């Protein structure tokens, strides 16, 4: 069983019957996204890709999620009776009026995937959007994988009906996650066959990882102020150091409204994957986007939706910090990045001796642009 306090109101607003244990946050999203088969409505993103899906009986789903995994699930479910539409990207706060209008056009279900959070750390007004959905009688789901453990989240008094989280994002083992369900929320399980989790998910429960997730949540709550202060200081120093030493690079996302641990930096005229390989040789771990986009050779759909130029979209690198990082490690990364970027730009056909070559944007001319 989880440690005392994990499922109680003292440590969490969740009760044992309000949650279903999953392998990770994506499976929680996948379970939620399956609902349109029952005549619910599904969808895909308030800041990146929002899809409205209509089924033959007239019910539909508005999904405001940005994650590639969730998008793939929605697109894979596309059949002749489904309709998928995309909304233009807008700043999170400025887009609330647009979301209100969109929500009022649908009746059953809305899901918000903080996809931009996955890659840039930018935060969206999820609670405000949940209230808009509630006022329109729409059920609301949010993918909070990146936010849980770093920001205070109250489910008791808010309007969120469903929430997904992954343990590995707050130092619990990989392969454990939670799908929070508000009491009396209609739910159809993805996996059937047993009575575990009150019939919500069949299969033997991973008790050891459940306990570890509970403990990780307790520790995250204890260290949340540290995350918002010292870890933010580490991130700011990392960004300042790299921007000062490397020309033609910039931080993506909203600098004043994002997670304290995430830095996404775009290096123009080179490939992010190449940067990662050279960083890895030095024992430095980073990523070129969210786990959902790993393995793809195309630039992140998040960067493309944000309007990041193709000269930079290919060269984005995400640094994710935690309370276990130190200032010495940050200084080591700042020292390592400039020579790596310089080495790669020497090999780039878009970079000359004195800087970018003439009209590099035309030389890119990607087929998917």
**Sign of the dihedral through C-alpha 231, 212, 122, 298:** positive
Q: Which residues have CB under 8 Å from 258's CB, separation 6+?
A: 117, 120, 121, 122, 123
Task: Sketch out the chain's domains with CATH numbers.
Answer: 16-222 (3.40.640.10), 224-364 (3.90.1150.10)
- Kindly name the residue from 74, 217, 249, 292 that is annotated as catalytic: 292
For residue 139, pLDDT beyond 90: no
Across 20-50, b (16+ Cβ under 10 Å) vs e yields bbbbbbbbbbbbbbbbbeeebbbbbbbbbbb
Please check the confidence at residue 239 and state whether its pLDDT lies above 60: yes
Mean pLDDT in the chain?
74
User: What's the CA gap between 62 and 54, in Å, rounded?
Assistant: 9
Position with higher pLDDT, 173 vs 80: 173
Record the tokens describing residue 369, joined without a space. 């642009």
177-222 confidence digits (pLDDT tens): 998 888 888 777 777 777 777 777 888 888 999 999 999 999 999 9
Determine contact, residues 240/255, Cβ cutoff 8 Å: no
Task: State how far the Cα of 365 lies from the Cα of 213, in Å rounded to an integer.
Answer: 46
Question: Which of 29-38, 82-91, 168-177, 323-332 is modeled with the greatest confidence?
Answer: 323-332
Mean pLDDT, residues 9-27: 51
* pTM as predicted: 0.76
Torsion angle of the four alpha carbons 33, 39, 44, 50, in this order, in degrees rounded to the nearest 10: -170
Q: In this predicted model, which residue has the larger pLDDT, 75 or 166?
A: 166
Residue 292 among the catalytic residues: yes
Give the pLDDT of residue 89: 55
Q: Name which of 18-22, 87-91, 115-119 the model is least confident about.
A: 87-91
The predicted pLDDT at position 4 comes to: 47
Q: Do the bridges between strand 177-181 and strand 249-251 make them parallel or antiparallel, or are there none, so unpaired?
A: unpaired
**Structural element, H or E, at residue 131:** helix 126-135
How confident is the model over 312-355, as pLDDT tens digits? 988 999 999 999 999 999 999 999 999 999 999 999 988 888 88
pLDDT at 294: 54
Q: What percent of the chain has pLDDT over 90?
A: 33
Confidence (pLDDT) at 63: 40
CA distance 173 to 86: 35
d(CA 335, CA 254): 25
pLDDT band at 38 (very low <50, low <70, confident <90, very high): very low
Mean pLDDT check: name the lowest of 18-22, 83-87, 267-271, 301-305. 83-87
- Please report which confidence band the pLDDT of residue 88 belongs to, taking 50, 70 and 90 as the band edges: low
Mean pLDDT of 235-249: 97
- Find where tokens 């960067």 sit: 303
Tell me how far CA of residue 230 lies from CA of 67, 68, 79, 221, 260, in angstroms.
28, 31, 49, 15, 9
What pLDDT is attached to residue 240?
Answer: 97
User: Residue 274 pLDDT more than 50?
Assistant: yes
**pLDDT above 80 for 295:** no
pLDDT value at residue 115: 44
Residue 127 has pLDDT above 50, yes or no: yes
Distance CA 289, CA 25 (A): 17
State the pLDDT at residue 367.
Answer: 54
- Residue 354: the pLDDT is 81
Q: Residue 287 pLDDT > 80, yes or no?
A: yes
Confidence of residue 169 (pLDDT cuts 50, 70, 90): very high
Task: Specify the higher pLDDT residue, 145 or 283.
Answer: 283
pLDDT at residue number 85: 45
pLDDT at 29 over 90: no
Residue 32 has pLDDT above 60, yes or no: no
Helix/strand/coil for 312? helix
Find residue 251's DSSP bridge partners.
Answer: 265
- For residue 54, the model assigns a pLDDT of 28
């Amino acid at each position: 069983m989880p440690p005392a306090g994990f499922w109680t109101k003292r440590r969490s607003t969740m009760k044992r019957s309000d949650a279903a244990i999953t392998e990770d946050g994506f499976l929680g999203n996948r379970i939620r996204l399956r609902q349109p088969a029952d005549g619910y409505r599904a969808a895909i993103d308030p800041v990146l890709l929002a899809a409205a899906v209509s089924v033959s009986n007239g019910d539909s789903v508005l999904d405001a999620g940005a994650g590639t995994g969730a998008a793939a699930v929605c697109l894979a479910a596309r059949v002749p009776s489904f309709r998928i539409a995309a909304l233009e990207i807008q700043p999170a706060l400025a887009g609330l009026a647009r979301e209100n209008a969109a929500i009022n056009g649908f009746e059953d279900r809305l899901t918000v995937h903080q996809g931009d959070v996955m890659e840039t750390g930018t935060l969206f007004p999820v609670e405000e959007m949940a209230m808009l959905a509630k006022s329109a009688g729409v059920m609301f789901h949010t993918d909070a994988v990146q936010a849980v453990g770093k920001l205070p989240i109250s489910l008791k008094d808010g309007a969120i009906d469903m929430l997904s989280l992954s343990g590995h994002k707050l130092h619990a083992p990989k392969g454990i996650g939670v799908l929070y369900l508000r009491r009396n929320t209609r739910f159809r399980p993805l996996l059937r066959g047993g009575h575990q989790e009150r019939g919500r998910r069949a299969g033997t429960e991973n008790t050891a990882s459940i306990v570890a997730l509970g403990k990780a949540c307790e520790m995250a709550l204890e260290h949340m102020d540290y995350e918002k202060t010292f870890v933010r200081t580490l991130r700011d120093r990392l960004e300042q150091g790299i921007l000062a030493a490397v020309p033609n690079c910039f931080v993506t996302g909203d600098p004043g409204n994002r997670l304290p641990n995430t830095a996404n930096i775009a290096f123009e005229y080179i490939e992010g994957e190449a940067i990662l390989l050279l960083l890895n040789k030095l024992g430095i771990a980073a990523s070129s986007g969210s786990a959902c986009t790993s393995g793809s050779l195309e630039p992140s759909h998040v960067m493309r939706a944000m309007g990041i130029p193709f000269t930079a979209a290919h060269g984005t690198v995400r640094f994710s910090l935690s309370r276990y990082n130190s200032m010495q490690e940050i200084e080591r990364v700042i020292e390592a990045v400039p020579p790596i970027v310089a080495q790669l730009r020497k090999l780039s056909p878009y970079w000359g001796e004195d800087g970018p070559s003439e009209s590099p944007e035309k030389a890119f001319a990607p087929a998917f642009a």
